[in-house]
Amino acid sequence: MNVLVINCGSSSLKYQFINSDTEEVLAKGLCERIGIDGSQITYQPKDGDKEVTVTPMPDHTVAVQLVIDMLTNDKTGVVKSLSDIDAVGHRIVHGGEKFASSVVIDDEVVKAIEECNDLAPLHNPANLIGINACKKLMPNVPMVAVFDTAFHQTMPPKAYLYGIPYEYYEKFKVRRYGFHGTSHDFVSTEAAKFLGKDRKDLKIIVCHLGNGASITAVDKGKSVDTSMGLTPLDGLIMGTRSGSIDPAIVTFLAGKLHTDADGVLEILNKKSGVYGLSKVSSDFRDLEKAYNEGNELAKVTLETYSYHVAKFIGSYVAAMNGVDVIVYTAGVGENTSLVRKMVSEYLTYLGTNVDPEKNKLRGETVVLSDPGSKVVTMIVPTNEELAICRETVRLVK
């Protein structure tokens, strides 16, 4: 099957076109500045050069049409016609408590996703626009919704409840949902496979450290706790997001900065994290460089970041009463050896280590700890598009 995987934002649309039999990416790209002047589409076929075309995209329907045109183009296309697109998989950010797994999209599902809009007002409406655009242009092609939150729906109440009046959970569904679920599910599955074990026999802690970052405790194949919360602002320190802070900081800073709660939330989402702490960058490549040049604030930032990761790992060892495998994934987890080294220094008590030589490796599935270690520490590259493709095939075949 050929599956078009779509990740739709309010003014962008990322796509990958995957042959599910070989799991080969036939083409991929990005539509940017949809509905804004200067919109452009990037198209990268598997054996060809990357093309960037500046062209008006007044809305997402035009963007999806352009993607279809690129995929079926006589010269640089990878398939002959629209009928070679067998299914579409959509990444949906928030499925609330309604979706504990991926689903085939129909009118009921669209309505249920709409009902989750207030939990992710920036993301879900954009995801729905992508669904509607595809429906318009490919009415007979089956579509599947894959939710960032679904994998975490197995969390027990003790993990998802906050210590606030229960009525806010009852009335407004205020609780921990968690995100990056597609990645945590994929990575924990691949880790078990690589180790030749059944995921049902393992306690795995997945550290998805990217620009957004979250950690999940996966016990016997199920998410039992995760660091992101009602929104992706909770948990670890991230690229530009603060992660968990004392909630009283919001009103304290609002007073000092003569702004309101929304003004402070903007700072906590966009100007905080390693970017705000270091005054250098949200990108760990820049941070590592600054650290190596002796920048004190970069050093403190990386130490603070790693300390928080290690503390979460420790808390999830407690949550599962043990751990067999610790996995690093996503941009920082796969690439930034310095972070892996710093975190691992807190974890030797578990009977695991990060071998300095193996730790030089990046972006590949590899065991970093010594053979015979009580706990395995490893890297497993994430691939959310492939995970969405697999889910889509599973449901439409």
Q: Give contact residues for ligand AMP (rule: CB under 6 A).
A: 210-211, 239, 282-285, 330-332, 335-336
Least Å from the CB of residue 286 to ligand AMP: 8
- Catalytic pick from 148, 185, 219, 234? 148
Beta strands in the chain (DSSP E): 2-8, 13-19, 24-32, 40-45, 51-54, 87-92, 103-104, 143-147, 203-209, 213-219, 222-226, 325-329, 366-367, 376-379
Least CB distance to ligand AMP at residue 229 (A)? 19
Q: Residue 153 or 216: which CB sits closer to ligand AMP?
A: 216
Nearer to ligand AMP, 61 or 337 (CB): 337
Torsion of CA 178, 180, 184, 187, to 10 degrees: -170
Nearer to ligand AMP, 210 or 243 (CB): 210
Q: How far is the CB of 280 from ligand AMP (least distance, A)?
A: 11
What is the spatial distance between Cα 198 and Cα 209, in angstroms, rounded to a whole number? Answer: 24
Would you say 2 or 281 has its CB closer to ligand AMP?
A: 281
- Give the shortest CB-72-to-ligand AMP separation in angstroms: 29
> Over the range 191-203, which residues count as b (16 or more CB within 10 Å of their CB) and which as e?
bbebbeeebeebb
Distance (Å, rounded) from C-alpha 176 to C-alpha 145?
A: 21
Residue 392 tokens read as 């889509």
Q: How far is the CB of 331 from ligand AMP (least distance, A)?
A: 2
Q: What span, in angstroms and rounded, lies between the C-alpha atoms of 241 and 219?
A: 27
* 9 phi, psi to nearest 5 deg: -105, 180
Rank residues 295 and 336 by Cβ distance to ligand AMP and give the closer one. 336
Residues contacting residue 290 through CB under 8 Å, at least 6 positions apart: 278, 280, 281, 297, 298
Does the active-site annotation cover 74?
no
Query: Which SS3 state, helix, strand or coil, does residue 256 take?
Result: helix
Residue nearest to ligand AMP (CB): 331
Could you list the active site residues?
A: 148
